[in-house]
Amino acid sequence: MTRRTRSVLFWVLVALFIVGGVSLILFVIGYRVDFGTMTLEKVGGVFAKTNTQNYNATLEGKHLTKHYAIPNELFVSGLTPGSYTLDITKDHYVSWKKEFTVLPNLVTSFKEVMLLPDPLTPTRIFTASSSLASLSLSPDATRIAYADTIKHTIISYDLAHKSALYSIKEHAATGFAWLSDNNSFWYESATQNAPLLIDTRGATNIQTIFKHSLKGFDVPSTLIIHAIYPHPFEPKLIIHTSSGIFAFDPRAEISTLLASTDPVTLAVTRSSLYYFDANGRLYSENLITKNPVPTSFAPFDALASSPHTHWTLLMSPDENTVAAYDTTHDKLYLGTSASTTLSLVDTDVSSPSFSPDSKKIAYLKQGIPTLYWIEADEELRKTPQEIDTLLFGPTFSSFAWYEDSAHLFGTTVNHTLYFLDTDNRMPLGITKLAANINYSMYSAGNTMYYTVGNTLFSINFDFPARS
């Protein structure tokens, strides 16, 4: 081999090394060649986590055979920027599909892919003698209270043993709520025109025994009870009156003063009490230490200047965000502990509810499910104060959050129950669960209860999906 040949070969190898090395570096840092346009582009990827395994996934119609190391997850990298469609299917399950856009150097995530069994068969719990009304579930989801509208009876029913525990004659009842002991509940009695406590002893007039417990307090005989709330961790009632807020033990017939002010509205969380005074100042009180203190929020002027407006106070699960709902004018105001000021979020609002993860609040706007983002979500590319309108089609009358903060149970004005995917990337996910329902309740035990006529059904969302 001549010197000239060796020299040419050397420089060819050097060029190949440089080109190969640069190509490898570009590949590693996420660049690919788009042969359609003959340009160099940074690529992205897609990640999905499902509630099941052994599924089939296709991207743009091409079957994905290489899944991520965890069986219920998939990850595809090296995707050139553009529009894609991901389909996830499984035999005897409702299929899932989303269209999305891949952006350079970013991974598009779908972390709450929910495949529901198809068919999703409900469990019949019991059939009453007439239509079930005013259903209420105990905190541990083991008992249910309801009204039999034909026999004019209030009944407590044991879901585990499938038997009635006790009953009481009642012409009409509203406002069912259980105490934290899971054995007692109260309701507003139309027969006695007073709140009644129901337990194994029978019925007790709350108003009578509560006022009897106030003999040591300086309260007028004309004391008015505005509202009653279950205590979050003790078998007591929190009673909002015209003379203040009291914690009332109905068995011992003892009351403790929590706040001497008559608040405009209040909310009870897992450990604390929050309330607005007439000047719009927000107070918090730990239910253990019982020491009310003003929060860092600025006075809420809209509340202070509207003495004849009815307000509902809501606190996020992490207690960092407060919502004031003007039920008279259907306006929703929101403030965070960082901003300390409540601002108008939206109008024509009904049924506002914080998500379990506290990142967003959902509400109905003229029957349309709507999300307001409180915190940013980089994976979903959401920014604070962003509003998503979820145009599923039907008009809804009520909803409840599913535990993953990504799905809702929604009931339409035509009494149909749906399971809704709040991810607003198309197509929107909506699955019909039941028709002709009267009431529905979602419990902490991951079970949806609903009634059709005089029969109570349940759907357990802990179905064996991870197989």
Q: What is the pLDDT of residues 295-341, one digit of tens each?
A: 989 999 988 888 778 999 999 999 999 999 999 999 999 999 888 89
Residue 343, beta-bridge partner list: 334
94, burial (CB in 10 Å: exposed 0-12, middle 13-18, buried 19+): middle
The 10 Å Cβ neighbour count of residue 264 is 22
Q: What is the pLDDT of residues 26-57, one digit of tens each?
A: 444 455 555 555 555 688 899 999 988 889 99
What 8-state DSSP symbol labels residue 98?
Answer: E
Residue with tokens 């004019």: 152
Give the three-class secondary structure for 34.
strand
Q: Give the tokens for residue 28.
A: 């590693």
What 8-state DSSP symbol labels residue 72?
Answer: T
Question: Do 294 and 308 meet the contact criterion of CB atoms below 8 Å apart?
Answer: no
If you average pLDDT over residues 59-87, what whole number do you get? 85
191, burial (CB in 10 Å: exposed 0-12, middle 13-18, buried 19+): middle
Q: Give the tokens for residue 440.
A: 């529905």
pTM: 0.86
Ramachandran bin of 408, using left for φ above 0, alpha for ψ from -120 to 50, beta for the remaining angles: beta
Confidence of residue 116 (pLDDT cuts 50, 70, 90): very high
pLDDT of residue 26: 43
Strand ranges of the sheet holding 417-421, from the earlier edge strand across to the other edge: 396-401, 407-412, 417-421, 430-434
Q: Give the tokens for residue 464.
A: 């064996």
Residue with tokens 């209040």: 266
Give the three-class secondary structure for 358.
coil
Confidence of residue 78 (pLDDT cuts 50, 70, 90): confident
pLDDT of residue 18: 60
Question: Do 411 and 403 meet the contact criterion of CB atoms below 8 Å apart?
Answer: no
Question: Do 402 and 409 meet the contact criterion of CB atoms below 8 Å apart?
Answer: yes
Identify whether 427 is preceded by a cis peptide bond (ω within 30 of 0). Answer: yes
Question: Do 116 and 54 meet the contact criterion of CB atoms below 8 Å apart?
Answer: no
Task: Give whichever of 39-53, 224-238, 368-382, 407-421 has the largest mean pLDDT.
Answer: 407-421
pLDDT of residue 414: 96
pLDDT of residue 68: 58
Q: Give the tokens for residue 6.
A: 């060796």
Using alpha carbons only, give the angle 91, 93, 99 rounded to the nearest 5 degrees: 105
What 8-state DSSP symbol labels residue 115?
Answer: P
pLDDT of residue 466: 42
Give the DSSP per-residue string, 116-155.
PBSS---EEEEE-SS-EEEEEE-TTSSEEEEEETTTTEEE
Q: Which of 57-71, 132-146, 158-172, 338-352 has the lowest mean pLDDT?
A: 57-71
Using alpha carbons only, give the angle 293, 298, 301 rounded to the nearest 5 degrees: 115
Q: Which of 243, 303, 300, 236 is nearest to 268 (CA)?
A: 236
> What does R_g of the chain's alpha carbons equal in angstroms?
29
Task: Identify the H or E element spanning 238.
Answer: strand 237-241
Question: Do 449 and 135 meet the contact criterion of CB atoms below 8 Å apart?
Answer: yes
Q: What is the pLDDT of residues 360-403, one digit of tens each?
A: 999 999 999 999 999 888 777 788 889 999 999 999 999 999 99
Using alpha carbons only, give the angle 434, 435, 440 rounded to the nearest 5 degrees: 65
